[in-house]
Amino acid sequence: MKEKIQVSNKKTLIFLAVIIVILAFGNIAAFFYYIPKKINSAASGDSYNFLNPARKFFKPEDLIINFQPLRDYLNNKYAADLNVSVYFEYLPTGSNIAINKNAEFYPASLLKVPVAMAVAKKKERGDWKWSNELVLMPADKDDRFGTLYKESSNSKHTIENVVGRSLLDSDNTAHFMLVRNLEIEEIEDVYEHIGLKDFLSSSGNLSAKRYSVIMRALYNSSYLSEENSQKLLSYLSRSPFKEYIESGLPQGVVFSHKIGIDKDKDVFLDSGIVHAERRPYLLTVMIKTKDEQRAKEEMKDISENVFNYVKNYHD
């Protein structure tokens, strides 16, 4: 009986030894064959495969990260005034400057952009076509911005035309027509996507930095298709309101932007993408003042200094 137990134990030990050898061989094979093969495969097409592929679209001298002199200028001139909020972001590298980033302002007509984005998303879902028509109701009419209010009540206008007038002319009537025909959930979806959940149920105020994510979402086409992002930015690039940030840009530089003005609340706002050659950037400026001329002058100063720094920078 004792000999049988010894034989059985011996067989068990031999079996376990064989299993251990098999597992060890498998691990060695994986180390020398599979892992190197995986690493070599990942590197085979690009010797810099761990780097940002977007770098290929920019020259090294355009990948600017040093904005400290510009930051110092803006801080020294505007940081002490909580009625001014500035957000600048250099799009090729993401380097940014935020002045009074927590100061919030009533966004006024800046809200026309996310509403237009909700309309475009509704079109992408197949619920609307750009050629569909909306009816102009008497309650939509507002004569503070735009001329659509002059059209007769119950007249019909294509969605594309209404969106264009809302963005390009900042037409209030066009904006109210769009809002009336959207579900609140469709507008909220835009805010949730860009990280502003519950915005519509909060105080409704925004800082320059928080609003800028809307323009970034359009530029990156992260919420809408490329076609529709391009369409909305194209409308914004033809804005006739040139006396704010655009006044600090050289003639011919394309600026896709939206202004917001509410003189009852003393706010003057401008936000958009400056399509500077090879060096695009995002700039949002919000100013609270009763003096509109002061707002214009400060936006021009900020815009000029940002553009000149970006354009003339070199190591």
Residue 308 tokens, joined: 């000149």
Question: Are 114 and 201 contained in the same domain?
Answer: yes
Q: What is the mean pLDDT of each run of 10 residues along the chain (315 residues)?
A: 48 51 47 46 65 86 96 98 97 97 94 97 97 98 95 98 97 98 95 80 82 96 97 97 97 97 96 97 98 98 98 91
Question: Are 76 and 23 contained in the same domain?
Answer: no
Q: Which amino acid is at 195?
A: G
Question: Are 140 and 240 contained in the same domain?
Answer: yes
pLDDT at 200: 59
Question: Are 29 and 169 contained in the same domain?
Answer: no
Distance (Å, whole) CA 99 – CA 128: 40
Within a domain: 58: no
Within a domain: 46: yes
Question: Are 35 and 72 contained in the same domain?
Answer: no
Distances (CA, A) of 66 to 71, 150, 254, 268, 277: 9, 50, 24, 29, 19
Question: Are 34 and 79 contained in the same domain?
Answer: no
Question: Are 204 and 84 contained in the same domain?
Answer: yes
Question: Are 82 and 20 contained in the same domain?
Answer: no
CATH number at residue 104: 3.40.710.10
pLDDT at 34: 44
Q: Give the pairing of strands 281-288 and 96-99.
A: unpaired
Within a domain: 57: no
Range of the domain at 237: 64-312
* CA-atom Rg of the chain in angstroms: 29
Within a domain: 56: no
Within a domain: 188: yes
Question: Are 264 and 144 contained in the same domain?
Answer: yes
pLDDT at 303: 98
pLDDT at 36: 47
Provide the whole-model pTM.
Answer: 0.84
Question: Are 184 and 254 contained in the same domain?
Answer: yes
- Count structural domains, the chain: 2
Distance (Å, whole) CA 49 – CA 44: 9
| All residues at 6 or more sequence positions from 244 whose CB lies less than 8 Å from its CB, including other chains | 259, 268, 270, 285, 295, 296, 299, 300
Question: Are 160 and 211 contained in the same domain?
Answer: yes
Distance (Å, whole) CA 207 – CA 167: 21
Distance (Å, whole) CA 296 – CA 244: 5
Within a domain: 59: no
Within a domain: 207: yes
First to last CA, the chain: 88
> Could you say which of 51, 74, 92 is where a domain stops?
51
Question: Are 92 and 227 contained in the same domain?
Answer: yes
Within a domain: 68: yes
